[in-house]
Structure 1
Amino acid sequence: MAESLKNRTVNGVVWSAIDRFSALGIQIVCSLIIAHLLTPEDFGILGMITVFSAIGLVIIDSGFGLALIRRNDVTELDYSSVFYLNLFLAIICYSVLYCLSPLIADFYNLEPLTQICRVTFWVLPINAFGLIQNTILLKKIDFKTIAIASLASSLFSGIIGIILAYNIRNVWALVIQNISMYGLRSIILWCVGHWKPMLRFSITSIKSMWSYSMNLLGFGLISSLTQNIYPLVIGKFYNATQLGFYSQADRLQKLPATSITEVIQRVCFPVLSEVKEDIPRMREAYRKIIMTTFFIVFPMMILLIGIANELIMLLLGPQWSESILYFQILCIVGALYPLHSINLNILNVVGKSRLSLVLEVARKVILILLIIIAIKYDMIILVLAQVVYSIIVLFLNMYYSGREIDYGIIQQFRDISPTILLSLISLGLISLFIYIPYQHEFVLLVIKCLTFIISFFMLNRIFKTQSYSFAIPILANLIKQIR
């Protein structure tokens, strides 16, 4: 059983990585091309309504997706009942947001936003059609099929976005690209998923998942609102151009930080749910997950801080230079993301969804207080407040989640401290390049990256860190599986 679980996990990670990075990579590449054709203001306008779409998507799923994955005795009736519930909630959400669109435009004092909202919010019912198909594939750990759907939809929607951006040169290119991505993905999941709903709906089935799902819904709503509170605040108190700079910086830093962590999380949740009763086994598994994920993500984010100037100039151009400092600050938040996410996943696996909800409320109260304080100053202080928030709530997450499996704050920091120290030493080495006579951005970027990577791995090898001993065999195995 252990070997089977290991094989499924490795195979799942491989295809989950292909899914996440190929799809997101295509989206980023297309976004970078479009960034040369549109203005920061165009990206900022779409960013203004991101929070409303995000909340709608959370309501539509309502936590039933994770409830279905976690259950061991799911029936076809369960799947069909949740499918129809998703559609019903999608129609309700779209109708409400359609009516609220003029108020959203008034809130931002931007009249054209009304029509943009009404079209953009079509992603809600469109996405609802593919939710159960995606959930079934996740439960089966069939990330290969999910990867095909994500890759194809991202590629074709990206091409559509580039063509429209070149021809119409305004925010509508981004709107249509977004809708087409969700639409194509739902269509492909229906074609390759081989699941069709029954013409039956069971209230009993929904009730059996209600308690667990509603806690996750509450958690998701609060999390979604606060994750998108920065676009909301920046769009309201600053302007669309500033929001465009911030949004592009945030999108770029999330590519490695969020993606790598979520790749592992998506696989670990269904796999570790099968061994949730064996606490010692699960504790050791999570210890390796935290150390390995942090070993990959943290140095990568520290490297991005060191190469931010060259990276932004090469990818986006001088017109986006104002986003460089935002990007560097947000990379600190991204560096800590694995610890946040993996610790929260522990609570969901052991079924502590109510505790997750309570902690989420506490965390977001802290965030709102920090924003209220920072909003009195300029944008830099507002963005720095995210770093302060991330550090404060990290201790909160590590304490309560670690308590469930006897893997607390001190043990976690002891395990990750070598990675932190050696990453900062490597950053110090590449920081010395500021004293070297000017080189072309691309040449300097390559030299910095090679110096950082070589020094980081050599230092880990010299000091024989435990994270290195965990991560290298796993990475080698993943490469072998891909081949």
Structure 2
Amino acid sequence: MQNIRGQILRGSVWISGARIVANALSALSTIVLARLLLPSDFGLVALATSMLAVLQASTELSLSQALIHIKDPSRDHYNTAWTLNLGRGLLIGTGFAAAAPILAELYSEPRLGAVIVALGVSAALGGIQNPKLIMFQKKLKFHQDAILGVVAALVNVCVSIGSALVLRSYWALIAGLLAGQAVSIVLSYIMFPFRPALRVKHFRELWHFSAWVSVSQIVNTLNYRFDYLLVGTFLGRNDLGLYTVGGRLAVVPGQELVRPLTSTLFPAFSLAGSDTERLRRAYRRVQRVVTAVALPTSVGFGLVAEPFVRLALGPSWLGAIPIIQLLAFTFALDTLGSLVFPLAMAKGETRSLFLRNSLKLAIRMPLILIGMAAGGLAGLLAGRAIAGFIGVAIDMSMVARLVGISVMAQLRANIRCFLATAVMIVACVSVHQPAAGDTVGLALQLAATITVGLVSYISATLACWQIAGRPEGPESEAIDIGRNLVRLLAGRWKRLRERQGT
């Protein structure tokens, strides 16, 4: 168990580090591209990518999860997965490209046709990804996967920005996507050599596990993509661009901190097998850490959204400010149940995931439709926030059923984080000033708010921890990590001095 814990920790560090770098690159790319392109450019590409995402989800096979679940997959398992993914990619790519003229006519957008054809190429490329990359996760060795993600993100950013500087067109977004994808595929075969062959021998075995996961993925994609189609169809490409960029930025601070753990916890939880008590202890420990980091980070980003957008994106993007603010607070709540997916996957509860996603869709869709009909984009955001609150309750109830931790117990476990975040909000609001017009003033306001928020949250967290009697939790783990880091640095410094002395 200790060895597994160490592997999970190292894997989380690698993936978290990679995600931080990739997200920093993505944020940089978004900021630079927002200065070079128009909201309508982002909206045009977002409309096409949302269509493709729904189509891909409708044919999702979820073979990677099946390969993780199979204890000792053979070469033919990987060949079967590669063959199925290849066929799916070719069908989606050609079908999507063939529908380009119809979709362009439907949306009265001539530019949309060529974008859809280009994304059809992307879909076809996705079918030849190396399926053996999943071995990195299966063996809890995540650094290769992390490196691959960073390199692909770097290529995407460089090509996107370079193309935007030359073209000043939405094609920069497509060029970056295709370049990053192509590099990722090539590196996948270099890092994990594999010569695929056309096989379907293990189709039934793979499908037996992945069927419910695939159906669940379809529902989940509809759940989180149909609003983009609604905005693009009824509110226009400019609003869709604001909605896309605002959502892309809002998701980074909190939710992107959680995703690395989702990648590491599924295979790690799977090793616990049917030991519910072991899963319960692991879930409690990780979930408290996730909430202590992701929740205040998301809330904090919402608090600094105004000076950030004015400083980083410019006046063309002021409409994204309320979008970032509301979505950041919504994503902050999501952290409370964000680890239910790897938990359910580890217990083989794929049907439960499907039912959970279906229930969320049944709640989210009418709320967003009613909100948009009543108040346009603002109403849509309000509907999404209400649906997010209900969705958290659904996730926490599912955790209670899976491992026996009641919803109230889950809330009590994070009470210190809630109190410290409330203190942070009060402190940041108290120092808030109307956004200055000049760059220096905006930068000072942003820096001051971030500093006040960070200091107030850490101070309040430590105070609550002291009052509670210093129980085990994210605070004690952070202190232990700090001590170990100091010892490590001191030991290396000592050895360096000894070598210099000799």
**TM-score normalized with structure 1 length:** 0.94
* 1:195 partner letter: F
Match of residue 432 from structure 2: 434
Contact 1:10 1:478 in 2 (8 A): no
SS at match of 1:74: coil
Cα RMSD of the aligned pairs, angstroms, is 2.2
**Quick check: 1:287 aligned with 2:288?**
no
Which residue of 398, 401, 416 maps to 1:400?
A: 398
Relative to structure 2, which stretch is displaced further, 276-285 or 434-443?
A: 434-443
Residue 140 of structure 1: how far off its partner (Å): 2.4
Contact 1:257 1:337 in 2 (8 A): no
Distance 1:480 1:124, change over 3 A: farther
Residue 481 of structure 1: how far off its partner (Å): 12
Which residue of 268, 274, 281 maps to 1:271?
A: 268
* 1:164 partner letter: S
Distance 1:482 1:216, change over 3 A: farther
Residue 178 of structure 1: how far off its partner (Å): 0.8
Distance 1:315 1:409, change over 3 A: same
Whole-angstrom distance in 1 between the partners of 2:485 and 2:53: 34
Whole-angstrom distance in 1 between the partners of 2:15 and 2:486: 15
Contact 2:368 2:383 in 1 (8 A): yes
Q: Deviations over 1:98-134 (max 9, x none)?
A: 2222232233221220111011222212122225133
Q: Deviations over 1:267-286 (max 9, x none)?
A: 11111100032111110100
Distance 1:178 1:481, change over 3 A: farther
Q: Which structure 2 residues correspond to residues 204-223 of structure 1 after superposition, within 5 A?
A: 205-223=202-220
Which residue of 339, 343, 356 maps to 2:340?
A: 343
SS at match of 1:359: helix
Distance 1:474 1:455, change over 3 A: same
Residue 57 of structure 1: how far off its partner (Å): 4.3
**Quick check: 1:232 aligned with 2:229?**
yes
Whole-angstrom distance in 2 between the partners of 1:290 and 1:36: 38
Q: Deviations over 1:242-295 (max 9, x none)?
A: 111111110001112221111111011111100032111110100111110010
Whole-angstrom distance in 2 between the partners of 1:181 and 1:230: 26
Distance 1:478 1:380, change over 3 A: farther
**Quick check: 1:313 aligned with 2:310?**
yes
Contact 1:249 1:326 in 2 (8 A): yes
Distance 1:237 1:128, change over 3 A: same
Match of residue 122 from structure 2: 123
Residue 318 of structure 1: how far off its partner (Å): 1.7
Match of residue 461 from structure 2: 460
Distance 1:162 1:479, change over 3 A: farther
Which residue of 417, 420, 436 maps to 1:419?
A: 417
Distance 1:481 1:238, change over 3 A: farther
Q: Which structure 2 residues correspond to residues 140-155 of structure 1 after superposition, within 5 A?
A: 140-155=139-154
Whole-angstrom distance in 2 between the partners of 1:410 and 1:389: 20
Distance 1:34 1:314, change over 3 A: same
**Quick check: 1:247 aligned with 2:244?**
yes
Residue 54 of structure 1: how far off its partner (Å): 1.9
**Quick check: 1:191 aligned with 2:185?**
no
Contact 2:51 2:229 in 1 (8 A): no
Distance 1:129 1:68, change over 3 A: same
Distance 1:26 1:133, change over 3 A: farther
Relative to structure 2, which stretch is displaced further, 466-475 or 385-394?
A: 466-475
Whole-angstrom distance in 2 between the partners of 1:413 and 1:77: 46
Q: Which structure 2 residues correspond to residues 101-140 of structure 1 after superposition, within 5 A?
A: 101-140=100-139
Residue 86 of structure 1: how far off its partner (Å): 0.5
Relative to structure 2, which stretch is displaced further, 382-391 or 417-426?
A: 417-426
Match of residue 495 from structure 2: none
Residue 76 of structure 1: how far off its partner (Å): 1.4
SS at match of 2:395: helix
Whole-angstrom distance in 1 between the partners of 2:168 and 2:365: 36
Residue 237 of structure 1: how far off its partner (Å): 0.6
Match of residue 180 from structure 1: 179
Residue 26 of structure 1: how far off its partner (Å): 1.2
Whole-angstrom distance in 2 between the partners of 1:384 and 1:192: 45
Distance 1:482 1:306, change over 3 A: farther
Which residue of 463, 471, 475 maps to 1:469?
A: 475
Q: Which structure 2 residues correspond to residues 157-172 of structure 1 after superposition, within 5 A?
A: 157-172=156-171
* 1:17 partner letter: S
Unaligned runs of 5+ in 2: 490-502
**Quick check: 1:357 aligned with 2:362?**
no
* 1:263 partner letter: P
Whole-angstrom distance in 2 between the partners of 1:77 and 1:474: 45
Whole-angstrom distance in 2 between the partners of 1:223 and 1:294: 22
Whole-angstrom distance in 2 between the partners of 1:162 and 1:436: 32
Contact 2:62 2:214 in 1 (8 A): yes
Distance 1:452 1:228, change over 3 A: same
Distance 1:283 1:128, change over 3 A: same
Contact 1:16 1:143 in 2 (8 A): yes
Q: Which has the higher contact order (CA 8 A, sep 6+)?
A: 1
Q: Deviations over 1:124-161 (max 9, x none)?
A: 12122225133222222232111222222221222111
Residue 45 of structure 1: how far off its partner (Å): 0.4
* 2:205 partner letter: S
Q: How many residues align?
A: 480
Contact 1:461 1:468 in 2 (8 A): no
Structure with larger Rg: 2
Residue 437 of structure 1: how far off its partner (Å): 10
Match of residue 258 from structure 1: 255
* 1:30 partner letter: S
Contact 2:420 2:460 in 1 (8 A): yes
Distance 1:135 1:55, change over 3 A: farther
Relative to structure 2, which stretch is displaced further, 428-437 or 17-26?
A: 428-437
Q: Deviations over 1:36-63 (max 9, x none)?
A: 1111110010010122222344456511
Residue 344 of structure 1: how far off its partner (Å): 2.9
Whole-angstrom distance in 1 between the partners of 2:486 and 2:238: 45
Distance 1:402 1:106, change over 3 A: farther
The percentage of aligned residue pairs carrying the same residue is 19
Distance 1:437 1:49, change over 3 A: closer
Q: Deviations over 1:183-207 (max 9, x none)?
A: 111111111122332x35143x221
Contact 2:54 2:221 in 1 (8 A): yes
Whole-angstrom distance in 2 between the partners of 1:163 and 1:472: 40
**TM-score normalized with structure 2 length:** 0.91
Whole-angstrom distance in 1 between the partners of 2:434 and 2:218: 49
Whole-angstrom distance in 2 between the partners of 1:102 and 1:131: 32
Relative to structure 2, which stretch is displaced further, 107-116 or 43-52?
A: 107-116
